Amino acid sequence: MSIGASRYHEHVTESITITDNRSGESVEIPIDQGGVDSKPWNQLMPGVWFNDPSFGTTAAADSTVTELDGVNGILRYRGYPIEQLAERSSYLEVAYLLVNGELPTAEEFETWRYEITHHTFIHENVRKKFLEGFHHDAHPMGILVATIAALSTFYPEAKDIFDPEVRRKQIVRLIAKMPTLAAGAYRFSRGMPFVYPDNSLDFSANFLSMLFKTAEPRYDANPVLAKALDVLFILHADHEQNCSTTAMRTVGSAHADPYVATAAAASALYGPRHGGANEAVLHMLERIGSIDNVPAFIDRVKAGEERLMGFGHRVYKNFDPRATIIKNTAYEVFDVTGKSPLLDIALKLEEVALADNYFVDRKLYPNVDFYSGLIYQAMGFPMDMFTVLFAIPRVAGWLSHYTELLEQDQRIIRPRQIYVGAGERDYVPFSIR
């Protein structure tokens, strides 16, 4: 007996067949755009779950936002190659593209730029009570996560998530306020006064002004550094179904408002396996200390005693295209700031790893984080700001996925489990445990 699969079009010719050997029943399921629908499996074998805890083989979304081909090292936002966007676009234009699906006309961009620029201020209570309420040595990422969540209470209308206009307003606010919150967290942790946004500056230059301005009436960032930061923002703006985006979609599927969903996504990004890796790369380079120590370090990695941070990726089994762009950006930044002494160690590590069968066989290549930390450090950012710099542009990607999820009216995300715990047993009192 065969159970039919439904959602597919005439053009689908490839399929798989699953047979339940307990009953002899089979189901043929079409392969549609590289995906196989789970529903016929479920109908064939109710109560038997596909065991994929880290979603290595599970497509959790039909998405139009970002195309990532990890085998061939391809990354495109809404169809546009990342290389072209990094070279010719700006972060604000890319944010528009991600959120709206198309590049803006000149007029649409001007409206967008104006809207973002005029939503950069934060409520004074967010500054006075939240940003300045933390302990003096609070990690800026912890401050950022908490203040993003707190914004939900300042904009209660954000709960009206199915009104496209209301939603758009929160998207503008979040993209605009991220640099202000991030810079505020940094200034507070350094005991420096808060710097208000300067609406005459563009997105990246304004962020640098809020971070580094001291007594001067206007802070004009070095244009090469502002441009480099903008390129890094473009490269980090989205990366399809990564850990933090999955957190965003999971929380969004419960119909939570965009602020708390973004705070959840930012929390996921905080982890060293995800957005915290560039900080871990610098710690690693500092520990290695000199290029002479590189071969011994690589031996320890191969023995499983260390992990080569900034290498490897769940999806890329080839060069991460962002890493290639970042390496070029690093040289432009070092021309201005002077070379980081850790660069030589990084270059040697890359050279040794790429020539070693351990890394070649496992298809481990440098990822986006391998060089980004070196750039941030050269630009004067302390290490605890690195993940914050990742979070600022990723908000555009998170919100694009959030919008897509709501517009597709996806069911609440609720995986199954394979229960492997104790069978039923009776409660026993303390006296006989």
Task: Please identify every residue annotated as catalytic.
Answer: 313, 369
Paired with 74 in beta bridges are 69
Task: Pick the closer one to ligand CMC by CB: 41 or 77.
Answer: 77
Q: What CA–CA distance (Å, rounded) separates 173 from 364?
A: 38
Of 171, 309, 391, 392, the residue at the interface with ligand CMC (CB under 6 A) is 309
Integer-rounded Cα Rg, in Å, for the chain is 24
Strands 15-20 and 80-81: unpaired
List, in sequence order, every beta strand (DSSP E) within 260-334: none
Contact segment (CB under 6 A) with ligand CMC among 27-35, 115-123, 164-172, 308-316 equals 308-316
Site string for ligand CMC, 286-305 (x = CB under 6 A): ---------------x----
Any residues with CB less than 8 A from the CB of 390 and at least 6 apart, and which?
A: 236, 269, 275, 278, 372
Residues of this chain, 146-175, that bind ligand CMC according to CB under 6 A: none
Q: Which two tokens stand for residue 225?
A: 């550094």
Q: Does 364 bind ligand CMC (CB under 6 A)?
A: yes
What burial class does residue 319 get, using C-beta atoms within 10 Å of its C-beta: 0-12 exposed, 13-18 middle, 19+ buried?
middle
Q: Does 308 bind ligand CMC (CB under 6 A)?
A: yes
Task: Pick the closer one to ligand CMC by CB: 205 or 269.
Answer: 269
Contact segment (CB under 6 A) with ligand CMC among 109-117, 310-318, 325-333, 397-405 equals 310-318
**Closest CA relative to residue 338, chosen from 372, 375, 368:** 375
Task: Pick the closer one to ligand CMC by CB: 113 or 317.
Answer: 317
Q: Does 310 bind ligand CMC (CB under 6 A)?
A: yes
* Residue 179 · residue 122 · CB < 8 Å: no
Tell me the closest approach of the beta carbon of residue 347 to ligand CMC, in angstroms.
Answer: 17
Residues of this chain, 184-243, that bind ligand CMC according to CB under 6 A: 239, 242
Q: Which two tokens stand for residue 159?
A: 């709960």
Q: Does 362 bind ligand CMC (CB under 6 A)?
A: yes
Q: What CA–CA distance (Å, rounded) separates 121 from 141?
A: 19
Size of site (CB under 6 A) for ligand CMC: 19
Q: Does 245 bind ligand CMC (CB under 6 A)?
A: no
Q: Does 113 bind ligand CMC (CB under 6 A)?
A: no
Paired with 69 in beta bridges are 74
- Contact residues toward ligand CMC (CB under 6 A) are 239, 242, 273-274, 277, 301, 307-314, 362, 364, 367-369
